[in-house]
Amino acid sequence: MPGFISNPEIAGETASWSLRTSRNQIPYKLVEQSGSFEGFEGESTAISGYLIRASDLLGFVNELFPEPLVVENQLIQRTSLMPGTTFLFARRLRWRAFMDGLPIDPFNSHPGAPSQTYHPIIRVDVEFLAKNEQEETTDPTTFLEITGDPNGEFLHTESSAGKWICDRTGSPGIDSETNKSPIIPVVMQVPTVDWSLRWPRVGANYFKNTLLPQLRKTMGLVNSKVVPLLFDAERETLLFNGYRYREVYSIVGNNLGTIQREKFITLDLKMTEKRIDDPGSGCPTTPGGPQADVIRGHNDFWRPNIGWQRLLRHPSNLPVYASIDFNTIFNPPVPPAP
């Protein structure tokens, strides 16, 4: 950058920094840490000193303090965690010269300055704070509304190999009669739960750039991992049906004291849970051993006279529904910087 001191030793030092920010991979060096812990209802604090390139200051700040959440016409500032902790959140950043007496220009305020004028490395001191209020407002699921409604699938099947028995007290070997009609209609209901996960306010930019790509990848798929948010729903028991989208326009104030018109997104994510406890019907855990207890999901289908079994497509030998980690919907990976 014009005006910065060009020094091969400095360039070599920054290249050797192994620490990187999580989003834009900004290199930095940890040079100092201090702090304090307090007991019940107290405040725990920490201060970390970092070296960064002067040209990375704004990017470093934007990662430390992401775009605020807007909920019911209120701005809620989000902050980042101190690396290595789960309870210390960034509250304040101060920046200054790396060494006393060395001029710096992180905003390129003097674009025509001669080379060797400004030092390319600056120091930033970040203050972190742990408070219950801070932890609650930065939880991404704080404003999520979850609703479950009963539903079900109806299966029309046959039972040509079945047996008739007088009632539930009878013995299949003594009181039973083999079914002689292959066309006896049998209707089975498979209970399901229709889940609706509603986000009342989602920022338009966050929806378009981060959330929408993840939702599109997930449509029509089943969950590859347990979903804690839905009470530890088992693998392949959730099918993502899509989402209901609505744009909301509102007048809000920002942290600069001005009023502006904002667009928000209201989302309803729709999932169907199909879970069937099917004891003693799975593949044996050992050759010739007893059949295992299994939980059936969306990739299991009813075979007349046999029961529930997993279906693989020909010739790929893949299940009917592909799977993906649903948890990334609620903690999506940060897209790369443009």
Burial bucket for residue 314 (CB in 10 Å: 0-12, 13-18, 19+) = exposed
Torsion sign over Cα 233, 235, 241, 247: positive
Does the residue 266 lie in any domain? Answer: yes
34 domain residue, yes or no = yes
Q: Does some domain include residue 288?
A: no
166 with 46, same domain?
no
130 and 157 assigned to the same domain: no
Is the same domain home to 269 and 152? Answer: yes
Helix runs in 77-236, H state only: 132-137, 204-206, 212-218
Domain presence at residue 216: yes
Q: What is residue 128's predicted lDDT score, i.e. its pLDDT?
A: 92
Helices (H) and strands (E) in the chain, counts: 6, 19
pLDDT (0 to 100) of residue 79: 77
Cβ-count burial of 237 within 10 angstroms (0-12 exposed, 13-18 middle, 19+ buried)?
buried
Q: Report residue 336: phi and psi, to 5°.
A: -65, 150
Residue 215 neighbours by CB under 8 Å, 6+ apart: 243, 269, 329
Same domain, residue pair 48 and 133: yes
Q: Are 239 and 227 in contact (CB under 8 A)?
A: no
pLDDT of residue 63: 87
- Do 126 and 240 share a structural domain? no
pTM comes to: 0.56
pLDDT at 272: 98
The answer on 208 and 127 residing in a single domain is no
Please indicate, yes or no, whether residues 151 and 251 belong to a single structural domain of this protein: yes
Cβ atoms 33, 167 nearer than 8 A: no
Give me the domain span that covers residue 224: 145-276+323-330
In a domain, 33, yes or no: yes
pLDDT at 308: 92
Q: Which two tokens stand for residue 266?
A: 């209201």
Give per-residue burial for 148-180: e unless 16+ CB within 10 Å, then b: eeeeeeeeeeebeeeeeeeeeeeeeeeeeeeee
Q: Which residues pair with 276 in a beta bridge?
A: 296
Please give the Cα distance from 223 to 146 (Å, whole number): 17
Predicted pLDDT at 331: 73
* The total number of structural domains that make up the chain: 2
Backbone angles phi, psi at 320, to 5 degrees: -60, -45
Residues 105, 28 share a domain: yes
Same domain, 270 and 153: yes
What phi and psi values does residue 277 have, to the nearest 5 degrees?
Answer: -75, 120
Name the DSSP letter for residue 109: S
**Burial level of 114, CB count in 10 A (0-12/13-18/19+)?**
exposed
Render each residue's pLDDT in the chain as its tens digit; 338 residues. Answer: 445 555 554 555 678 899 998 878 899 999 999 998 877 666 789 999 999 999 999 999 988 888 776 555 455 667 788 888 878 888 899 999 987 777 888 888 888 888 778 888 999 999 998 854 433 333 445 578 899 999 999 888 877 667 778 777 766 666 677 776 767 778 889 999 999 999 887 878 888 888 899 999 999 999 999 999 999 999 999 999 999 999 877 655 444 344 456 677 888 999 999 999 998 888 877 777 788 889 999 999 998 888 899 999 989 999 999 999 999 887 755 444 33
Compute the chain's Rg from CA coordinates.
30
CB contact set of 66 (below 8 Å; sequence gap of 6+): 78, 79, 80
| Domain C-terminal end among 137, 161, 185 | 137
Residue at which a domain ends, from 73, 105, 137: 137
Residue 125 and residue 28 in contact, taking contact as beta carbons nearer than 8 Å: no
In a domain, 308, yes or no: no
- Of the candidates 119, 137, 155, which is a domain's last residue? 137
Tell whether 267 and 159 lie within a shared domain: yes
Whether residues 128 and 169 share a domain: the answer is: no
Cβ(234)–Cβ(226) under 8 Å? yes
- 311 lies in a domain? no
Contact 298, 239 (CB under 8 A): yes
Within the chain, residue ranges assigned H as helices are: 8-15, 57-64, 132-137, 204-206, 212-218, 327-330
78 and 185 share a domain? no
Tell me whether residue 287 is in a domain: no
